Chain A
Amino acid sequence: MSVLLYIIPLALFLGLFWLAGFIWSLKTGQYEDLEGAARRIFLDEDDH
């Protein structure tokens, strides 16, 4: 059973890592303009 002592913190760490990533993407406004982002892929980067 002692494997639980590694596996649970590891799972928690992975979960928290994902959560931190999610919060970061939310705070940097990546969910604010989903439609715009979908259309921006059609723009050429080098035209300005």
Chain B
Amino acid sequence: MVKILPENLNQLAVMVEGAHCAACIGKIESCLDREPGIQHARLNFTTQRLNIEWSGSPSRANDFVDRVESLGYKVRPFESFRQTSTEEEKFLLLCLGVAAFSMGNIMLLSFGLWTTNEQTMGMATRDFMHWMSALIALPAILFAGRPFFRSAFRALRSGTTNMDVPISLALILTSGMSLFETVHHGAHAYFDSVVMLMFFLLIGRYLDHRARRQARSAASDLLGAVSGFASILEEDGHIRRLPVSALKPGMKIRVAAGEKIPADGLILEGETTIDTALVTGETLPREARTGTHVYAGTVNMSSPVTIRIIKAADDTLLSDIIRLMEKAQQAQARYVRMADRLARLYTPVVHTLAALAFFGWLGMGMAWQPALLIAATVLIITCPCALALAVPVVQVLATGRLMKSGILIKSGDALERLACIDTVLLDKTGTLTIGQPVLQDNNIPPEILRPAASLASYSAHPLSRALKKSHEGPLLTFTDVQEYPGKGLEALYQGEVLRLGSRDWCGDRNSPAGTHMELWFSRGEEAPTVFYFSDKLRDHSTETLRALQKHGLEIILISGDRAEAVADMARQSLIAQYHAEMTPVEKYEVLEKLKSEGKKILMVGDGLNDAPVLAGADVSMSPATASDLAQNAADIVFMSEGLKPLLIAYETALLSQKLVEQNFALAILYNVFAIPLAMLGYVTPLIAALAMSGSSLVVIANSFRLHGGKT
């Protein structure tokens, strides 16, 4: 992955995740700058890409990766597709710059041409000005028109047509006619119109591209959950860091406590608990010892283990889920964006009208040059500029606005799809609820709570963490804490044995079992105390769901957890319909069934087990605490403790959909007036270009109402 540069320099580009502010940039860069030999370390905040250049041995790349990881950021191998996307954006900006330059200079000349006539300025001066305009315009059109020419050419070669075909035709026809007029000392040179048209179209193109690029860069790689680095244990006992994609069956890997297991395998050594929440949706971790199967994507919680890989990274349970997801995505790709649907109708109509104008006037005995000029005017005036701007402007504004409330839109048309939904599928653990248990009974005497919470602070088990959190004030410190995987924690305190753990290990086996999650605490020979835990609803969840129902949406809870737990949550959040104990495949079947009934579905979920449904639903959201894979599959990611973003996103989607429709209506209304005038020959290309720009400005102004609008 390291690129060798001349002069003994090495370069490494990696993705850094988790940088959210200026302090992060400063921390990462200054930490690397302190390393000897570093020539250059710079983090691109927009693309989350870190570029490092250093002199010396290429193998030091691992140290730098470790250094950044030790600051608490996730480092991933860099994926190259993002590069091409910024290249394209740069190219569009360059074209925009060239078009702006030529437009500015031609306008200076055109102003003279518009305000005087042939008699006052003389034939020679007019010709001179026309030639100057041609000199500026033609190279600029050849250069900056390429985005349109290319796309039109590609479409024509594959036997189809798109919006760029009439645009290219209008550009070429009008500049050709203007050149013809200039050569023949005529008055009808419209280089200014062509360049202005191109400039406005390029703005729309650039905004559209930016909206999509933002969407893509918010997403990570599809295989994100298994990309990254793993520690390989070699035969000679050395540990080597390799990208996860290079893992092969038979290799031995070390997985430290708190690390993600990179591939399916068998535990060779060590005893631990595994958090499978992201794969199965269960809240409580599972025990694992020598010989236990572990799955990629689960998290090792308590102690380091050695694992022998039995399946390569692309052949795991996780990749089964990914395959199901890909299938779902293909089924979903049939969605056609509103602008494209309109374009499909629009282009043939525009071509026909232009041809009709040309042959109509020719038939009525007009010479071919003015007839062609009228045809070109029709093309300019119907130019889908306002149409091309209608969606991207609203999208860029809506995306920016949602971003401020911590909601990231990952795919360009997500809002459009969100506005059409009628059913919401909600996952339970981690989505409707926080996904972390909370202590239920607050009346436990401090002389018990304090040592129990102190002991709990030595473990990463979710129940222990919840217990620790429920205690305020200083904790006791123990020197000799033992963790028994699957049982609990043990420590000596003032000559007594303290135990915190399962019912079988230190609890009262005869007490009646409830439906809650529980943790037992015993001190010496005293009777053990029990702590009950339950998951907590996210903030604002009931109000949000209420409001969504008021919008006419049907809400269904869908979870892999136990039936009682799901029923309990459904009751608390007033959801009438729920499905419990669902496997990932069953969840997907529920989705397919609803889809076959013609429902438009929003899926909100966070686990790996939700990923296929997230990918297959019409539109999907996941919280920022979700597994990487779920975040990849979702169209929208929100960063909030509460469930409010659901409502904010939905209402913004409705509002922007309304604005897009208004924009389309404005653009069509304009065409209805302008096309007949143009076809009858009352409009010159100059007026056409002005009218076209005017309609674009109206559309942009309308879109900005999004900022003033109430949600």
Contacts and interface: CB of A to CB of B under 8 A. Distances in A.
Interface of A: 1, 4, 8, 11-12, 15-16, 18-19, 22-23, 26, 31-36, 39-44, 47-48
Given A36-B45, A39-B21, A43-B22, A8 B93 contact: no
B45 A26 contact: no
Interface of B: 21-23, 25-26, 29-30, 33-34, 43-47, 86, 90, 93-94, 97-98, 101, 104-105, 108-109, 121-122, 125, 128, 132, 136
A34 B46 contact: yes
Contact of B25 (A4, A12, A15, A36): A36
Contacts of A41: 22
A32 B86 contact: yes
Nearest to B135: A12
- In this complex, the member of A31, A34, A41 whose beta carbon has the largest number of chain B beta carbons within 10 angstroms is A31
Contacts of B33: 48
B34 A48 contact: yes
A35 to B, nearest CB: 5
A12 B43 contact: no
A42 B22 CA distance: 6
Contact of A15 (B29, B105, B128): B105
Given A22-B101, A36-B44, 16 more contacts: A1-B121, A1-B125, A4-B125, A11-B105, A15-B104, A18-B101, A31-B90, A32-B44, A32-B47, A33-B46, A34-B46, A36-B25, A39-B22, A48-B29, A48-B30, A48-B33
B44 A33 contact: yes
Contacts of B121: 1
Contact of B22 (A15, A32, A34, A40): A40
A12 B140 CA distance: 13
A42 B20 CA distance: 13
Nearest to B96: A22
A19 B98 contact: yes
Nearest to A42: B22
A19 B45 CA distance: 27
Given A23-B94, A47-B30, A40 B86 contact: no
A45 B128 CA distance: 54
16 contacts: A4-B125, A8-B109, A11-B108, A12-B136, A15-B105, A19-B98, A23-B97, A32-B86, A32-B90, A33-B46, A42-B22, A42-B23, A44-B26, A47-B30, A48-B30, A48-B34
Q: Which are the 3 A-B pairs with shortest beta-carbon distances?
A: A36-B45, A39-B22, A48-B30
- What secondary structure prevails in chain B residues at the interface with A? helix
A12 B105 contact: yes
Given A4-B125, A43-B25, A35 B97 contact: no
A31 to B, nearest CB: 6
Nearest to B91: A26
Given A33-B45, A36-B44, A22 B125 contact: no
Nearest to B32: A48
B132 A26 contact: no
Nearest to B33: A48
Contacts of A35: 45-46
B93 A39 contact: no
Contacts of A12: 105, 136
A32 B105 contact: no
Judged by DSSP, the binding face of A is helix
A47 to B, nearest CB: 6
A1 B129 CA distance: 12
A35 B45 CA distance: 7
Contacts of B34: 48
Contacts of A44: 26
A34 B214 CA distance: 12
A45 to B, nearest CB: 10
Contact of B26 (A15, A19, A43): A43
Nearest to B94: A26
Contacts of A47: 26, 30
Contacts of B29: 48
Contacts of A11: 105, 108
Nearest to B136: A12
Nearest to B26: A43
A11 to B, nearest CB: 5
Contact of A32 (B21, B25, B46, B97): B46
Contacts of A43: 22, 25-26
Contacts of A22: 97, 101
A26 B101 contact: no
Contact of B101 (A4, A16, A32, A39): A16
A28 B109 CA distance: 32
Contact of A26 (B47, B93, B109): B93
Contacts of B94: 23, 26
B216 to A, nearest CB: 15
Nearest to B97: A22
B105 A36 contact: no
Contact of A8 (B30, B97, B132): B132
Nearest to A11: B108
Contacts of B105: 11-12, 15
B47 A33 contact: yes
A15 B98 CA distance: 10
A39 B45 contact: yes
A39 B98 contact: no
Nearest to A43: B26
Given A18-B101, A26-B90, A31-B93, A36 B43 contact: yes
A43 to B, nearest CB: 5
Contacts of A42: 22-23
Given A8-B132, A11-B105, A33-B44, A39 B30 contact: no
A15 B101 contact: yes
Contacts of A4: 125, 128
B595 to A, nearest CB: 37
Nearest to A36: B45
B95 to A, nearest CB: 11
Contacts of A39: 21-22, 25, 45
B563 to A, nearest CB: 46
Contact of A19 (B30, B90, B101, B109): B101
Nearest to B128: A4
A36 B16 CA distance: 14
Point out which of B30, B45, B93, B121 has the most chain A C-beta atoms below 10 A from its C-beta: B45
Contacts of B98: 19
Nearest to A7: B108
A28 B488 CA distance: 58
Contacts of A48: 29-30, 33-34
Contacts of B43: 36
B404 to A, nearest CB: 13
Contacts of B30: 47-48
Nearest to B30: A48
Contacts of B109: 8
A20 B405 CA distance: 39
A33 B217 CA distance: 12
